Structure 1
């Protein structure tokens, strides 16, 4: 993934490295306060029940047709947030590390989360929700996400 011969000019010319540098910069900005719960009490139409999880394919079918190859390999990061979201300061530190990983290894980082809002969206990460009522359904969901994003590795 990483090119040992990468010089400063190549780094500055890389648009993906520039995007990840912006993500890294967002990790050190003050974060806004979530006021959704306050607004929901004023407008009952703004909050709904989360939709049902439906897997469109069986194990023997492909979830999607194969995507054309992307220029950069993708790494999935499966968050340990099944029981609850990751705290704000910890999420900020992890986001900085994942952005630095993307810059250093010249890859894309896709966050896999069990939460509706993982907290990494505000930094600019691609976040996918791992859904399913039991471990088998969640494993099937992860398999589909791995295929969809062509994830070479999930950490």
Structure 2
């Protein structure tokens, strides 16, 4: 294991050293010969470089924003399903029609995939804790606990 790590570090160091040397050589060549080049060409090259860098950065930030927007939409869908799940439990508890074990398991299975992928770590921990507790408690008792929670909330 350690031998592989040492090889990887050496390869990275040699690559970085080679890139640094190439960069240094190009910079020296550029600064030695800049006096010989027409100033208009240098200004044109700098303008082109600034334009290209601006374009690349703009495209990068646009892509990043698009990805964040898509992730936000997926998270919103997961949270909507999560709230629907909770309100189903609360409504069934309030109406006195508790969920059966089968219905509760079906709700859990329907929610698990999106919750694992898109809920925040804090929400996911709370959800896991809720699942563990609800699996230990009879569905009728869960409905009673949900009723008490609703009564305290309102």
- TM-score calculated relative to the size of structure 1: 0.26
Greater radius of gyration (CA):
2
TM-score (norm 2): 0.26
Give the number of the structure whose residues are more often strand, by fraction: 1
Q: Structure 1 or 2: larger helix share?
A: 2
